[in-house]
Amino acid sequence: MSTTVVAIDGPAGAGKSSVAKALALKLGFTHVNTGSLYRAVAYALRCAGASLDPVDKAELAKITLEYTDSGLLLNGVDPGEALRSPECASGASCVAKQPIVREFLLEVQRRSALNRWIVMEGRDIGTVIFPDAMVKIFLTASAYERARRRMEQGEIPSGATLEEVQKEIEKRDLQDSTRAVAPLKAAPDAVIVDSSSLSLEETIETIARIVEQKRCTRG
């Protein structure tokens, strides 16, 4: 068992990032957001003028990614807010479908957990990256609730209705869970946490209790 990893997987919009960040702070663990790694690969390739589809192995080999206690370093530098742009989000989605990129990032993710406690969030942490994680959480929420939260946070194009956003989310869920490479699914031994009717604080508390129980039973 990988005794130092809390894996949090789940669909976009379920609140993984806010929960993982706050949970890591509460427990004194390092927070690793693996979506940033896919975004960083897309960003570095774009900056180098290299192809995103297909990704070239030699171009990929030029990229160095490292998780330090203060965050991600891309080629030795903190990429900061650059990774949050819509271009990086679409580039990340494009490179994430390619096995060559997933293999490259598998090593980066496993290395980031060496000699420290981490809360790692993503889509395939409990199924592929750390199938032996100490705790596996699959954090989800209804498509309606995720659409409602996105609208509340102003993350959608103006004029879109709640029903349209919900339909889009359902379509993306279906694509993500049926794609050939690393489909989004809960590990058989994951605890499913549905945050539809929970506040952020309640969700963090629920998961923190699961982690503490696990640590106690390990002795």
Does 96 engage in binding with ligand DC (CB under 6 A)? yes
Tokens of residue 100, six digits: 């060559």
Does 5 engage in binding with ligand DC (CB under 6 A)? no
Contacts 24+ apart (CB under 8 A), 168-177: 169/11, 169/12, 169/13, 169/143, 170/143, 172/11, 172/12, 173/11, 173/143, 176/11, 176/123
Distance (Å, rounded) from C-alpha 146 to C-alpha 86? 19
Does 35 engage in binding with ligand DC (CB under 6 A)? yes
Distance (Å, rounded) from C-alpha 192 to C-alpha 189? 9
Does 44 engage in binding with ligand DC (CB under 6 A)? no
Does 124 engage in binding with ligand DC (CB under 6 A)? yes
Which strand (E) or helix (H) includes residue 138?
strand 133-140
Does 39 engage in binding with ligand DC (CB under 6 A)? yes
Does 93 engage in binding with ligand DC (CB under 6 A)? yes
CB atoms within 10 A of CB 203: 23
Distance (Å, rounded) from C-alpha 4 to C-alpha 30? 10
Distances (CA, A) of 149 to 13, 55, 165, 181: 8, 34, 10, 28
Q: Which stretch binds ligand DC (CB under 6 A): 49-57, 121-129, 195-203, 207-215?
A: 121-129
Does 141 engage in binding with ligand DC (CB under 6 A)? no
Of 99 and 212, which CB lies nearer to ligand DC in the complex structure? 99
8-27: contacts with ligand DC (CB under 6 A): 12
Does 150 engage in binding with ligand DC (CB under 6 A)? no
Of 124 and 145, which CB lies nearer to ligand DC in the complex structure? 124
Of 35 and 79, which CB lies nearer to ligand DC in the complex structure? 35
Does 122 engage in binding with ligand DC (CB under 6 A)? yes
Report the length, in residues, of the chain: 219
- Counts for the chain of helices (H) and strands (E), in that order: 8, 7
Does 34 engage in binding with ligand DC (CB under 6 A)? yes
Q: In the complex, what is the shortest distance from the CB of residue 58 to ligand DC, in angstroms, rounded to a whole number?
A: 22
User: Nearest to ligand DC by Cβ — which residue?
Assistant: 35
Interface ranges with ligand DC (CB under 6 A)? 12, 34-35, 38-39, 89, 92-93, 96, 122-124
